[in-house]
A and B are shown apart, each in its own frame.
Chain A
Amino acid sequence: MSIAERSSFKYTAVGRLMSDPLAVAAVTIIALLVLCAVFADAIAPYDYKALNVRERFAPPSFVHLLGTDNLGRDTFSRLLFGARIALFVGLTSVGLAALIGLMLGMVAGFGPRWLDNAILFLFDTLRAYPTIILALALGALLPPGLGTVILVVVLTTFSEYGRVARTQTQALSAQEFIDAERAMGASPARILFMHILPNVLGPFFILAAINLPVVITIEAGMSFLGVGVAPGTPSWGATLKDGFDYIRNTPWLIVSGGIPLVLVTLGFTFLGESLRDVLDPKLRKER
């Protein structure tokens, strides 16, 4: 096969991504979610915190698309605003966890042996700690709120990014082009940031995309357990909890609270899979 560069749209990363139906589905779902979060004020038919005792436990209808909860709040509106919280928590905590993990992982993979061992010990310790226990402990210690949720998520997930970054860095360091850079006189910092970092980022985006729904689920789970967001916040987890509490009165509440979680999970997982196909140079070769 000719190895000449093909510059038409079909061969760019975005072009390849868009030729994959799975990726198109993923991007559509994620775009919808983002639109909902951004324009929640405009789309939502009701104020998400407006109480309406007369219409408690209203079933889905044209007035309330997904019904109302125990306080008569419009579920659809609450879910729209919930998207905002989910995305905020998801992006912030994945971003923070990825950044911390990336830094520590690259230092571990590139630095001296003792430092590698020390950082690995930290990773292993944190990984061994069950998320839910940590969440309950921190939730009990700290006031409920988004900050607590983000802290728990970052603490429990950054080691995963760190491990990926470390493995990638080690594998890359053993490659000949790194030796070639050293032989040219490149400083360790230059090698790390100019040559290792760009090659670690690909797998990182994949991991982050796959992890985002996990994080949103953790937030929902913590809110469900009551150690997440402050009461009254329209988080998806809180909506689910209400649905669970009043499952006999409003069986639809738990269903409609779950739908966005399912959609988000599917959307980001699909995106992660398609990104892997596009970004992984081994799979990309001359197919």
Chain B
Amino acid sequence: MKAALDIRDLSVDYHTRAGRLHALRNVDLLVPDGEVVGLVGESGCGKSTLISAVLRLLAENAEVPGGEIVLDGTDLLSLSDAEMRLRRGRDVSVVFQDPMTGLNPVLTIGRQMIDIQHREALSRAARRERAVDMLARVRIPDPASRMDSYPHELSGGMRQRVAIAMALMMNPKLLIADEPTTALDATLEVQIIELLQELQGEIGCAILFISHHLGVIAELCQRVVVMYAGSAVEEGGVRDIFHAPAHPYTKALLDCDPGRIRERRQTLPSIPGSLPDLTAPPPGCIFADRCTKADAGCGATQPPRIDTAPGHWATCHFAEAMR
């Protein structure tokens, strides 16, 4: 299986006043070519650090003690800053939760879509044509006239479409979608998900789709990675993850989703406890103190990565028993 993105054993530390904060610890993550991989995790799981690491835009106080981020055969961590700059936007691009993050408010949509092609050896007219074509592909009505609009003149849903068009303009190998539908209403969220599904079929780029919304992940993704407190705890096909979770955290998370509980309940499930202090992570399993299955061994030794099915693994001593 050829991979668009293969993160191996990646660790990221932050130097803070409280000491060294181990924000990511030995994370493995695989995005196969042309697939949509969902990244699920709650606040503090390390999603943002992971994205910054892939883009090589980590904060100044961050350090990468080890690991590889292989994008289309090249380890990004070995590139010079200049080489990395060439890859951002071309090989890997991002769609953010707030589309305005990626759009310049004082330039027209068209100007920005043309500017992004500055490395292409194309005439201005050809660039414009490509931009209009791309806007049409994200189903923006009347794309040619929309080229002259400013971002603020568009509705939230339209802006997110433009942001997606910008991200796909250079045919990236990998699109990172960071909660792209969270700020949108339900009926618009559906439209964006369907759009991403269609575009992925047409363009064939791999997508790393980050969301805390399990319903969206279930619908859009082929594979899912679950992260907790800086560790990837489980990875597998979407059916494996949703129907036969092998990590207690994944199972607890699924059980908590009010959308999965069909009948009315007075008492709803939750995961008691709080995230561990990542300046001094526990010696054993990172989830042990909140886990209902944990025994003395869990607190003492780190669980290995256990394969429970082809392409499905979890870091839990009880992974086999969970199924």
Are A and B in direct contact (Cβ within 8 Å)?
yes
A contacts, CB < 8 Å to B:
1-2, 4, 6, 10-11, 16, 286-287
In the docked arrangement, what's the CA distance between A116 and B275, Å? 47
In the docked arrangement, what's the CA distance between A14 and B17, Å? 15
Kindly state the interface size class of chain B when it binds its partner.
under 10
In the docked arrangement, what's the CA distance between A10 and B279, Å? 16
What residues on B are CB-neighbors of A287 within 8 Å? 16-17, 61
Given contacts A10-B17, A286-B16, contact A2 B61 (CB under 8 A): no
What residues on A are CB-neighbors of B82 within 8 Å? none
In the docked arrangement, what's the CA distance between A10 and B19, Å? 12
B244 at the interface (CB under 8 A from A): no
B59 to A, closest residue via Cβ: A287
Mask: chain B, 6-23; 1 = CB below 8 Å from A; 0 = not = 000000000011100100
Extra A-B contacts (6), CB below 8 Å, given A1-B278, A2-B277, A4-B277: A1-B16, A1-B18, A2-B278, A2-B279, A286-B16, A287-B16
What residues on A are CB-neighbors of B21 within 8 Å? 1
Name 20 interchain pairs, CB-CB below 8 A, sorted by A.
Answer: A1-B16, A1-B18, A1-B21, A1-B277, A1-B278, A1-B279, A2-B18, A2-B275, A2-B277, A2-B278, A2-B279, A4-B277, A6-B18, A10-B17, A11-B17, A16-B17, A286-B16, A287-B16, A287-B17, A287-B61
In the docked arrangement, what's the CA distance between A79 and B177, Å? 64
Counting chain B CB atoms within 10 Å of each CB, the highest count among A1, A6, A286, A287 belongs to: A1
CB distance from B19 to the nearest CB of A (A): 10
In the docked arrangement, what's the CA distance between A11 and B19, Å? 13
CB distance from B179 to the nearest CB of A (A): 20
CB distance from A16 to the nearest CB of B (A): 8
CB distance from B14 to the nearest CB of A (A): 8
In the docked arrangement, what's the CA distance between A277 and B275, Å? 28
A2 to B, closest residue via Cβ: B277
What residues on A are CB-neighbors of B18 within 8 Å? 1-2, 6
CB distance from B52 to the nearest CB of A (A): 15
Q: Which 8 A-B pairs have the closest CB atoms?
A: A2-B277, A1-B21, A1-B278, A287-B16, A287-B17, A1-B16, A1-B279, A1-B18
In the docked arrangement, what's the CA distance between A10 and B16, Å? 12
Mask: chain B, 26-57; 1 = CB below 8 Å from A; 0 = not = 00000000000000000000000000000000
A10 to B, closest residue via Cβ: B17
CB distance from B166 to the nearest CB of A (A): 28
What residues on B are CB-neighbors of A4 within 8 Å? 277
In the docked arrangement, what's the CA distance between A16 and B16, Å? 13
Mask: chain B, 268-305; 1 = CB below 8 Å from A; 0 = not = 00000001011100000000000000000000000000
What residues on B are CB-neighbors of A6 within 8 Å? 18
In the docked arrangement, what's the CA distance between A147 and B18, Å? 50
B276 to A, closest residue via Cβ: A2
CB distance from B82 to the nearest CB of A (A): 29
B44 to A, closest residue via Cβ: A1
What residues on A are CB-neighbors of B278 within 8 Å? 1-2
CB distance from B279 to the nearest CB of A (A): 7
CB distance from A156 to the nearest CB of B (A): 34
CB distance from B2 to the nearest CB of A (A): 37
In the docked arrangement, what's the CA distance between A188 and B279, Å? 43
CB distance from A5 to the nearest CB of B (A): 12
What residues on B are CB-neighbors of A286 within 8 Å? 16
Within 8 A of A (CB), among B145-176: none
In the docked arrangement, what's the CA distance between A4 and B275, Å? 11
Counting chain A CB atoms within 10 Å of each CB, the highest count among B16, B17, B279 belongs to: B17
A1 to B, closest residue via Cβ: B21
In the docked arrangement, what's the CA distance between A16 and B279, Å? 19
In the docked arrangement, what's the CA distance between A1 and B17, Å? 11
In the docked arrangement, what's the CA distance between A10 and B17, Å? 9
CB distance from A9 to the nearest CB of B (A): 12
A19 to B, closest residue via Cβ: B17
CB distance from B71 to the nearest CB of A (A): 28
In the docked arrangement, what's the CA distance between A2 and B17, Å? 12
B61 to A, closest residue via Cβ: A287
CB distance from A258 to the nearest CB of B (A): 37
In the docked arrangement, what's the CA distance between A1 and B18, Å? 9
Counting chain B CB atoms within 10 Å of each CB, the highest count among A2, A6, A287 belongs to: A2
CB distance from B24 to the nearest CB of A (A): 13
A16 to B, closest residue via Cβ: B17
In the docked arrangement, what's the CA distance between A286 and B278, Å? 13
A15 to B, closest residue via Cβ: B17
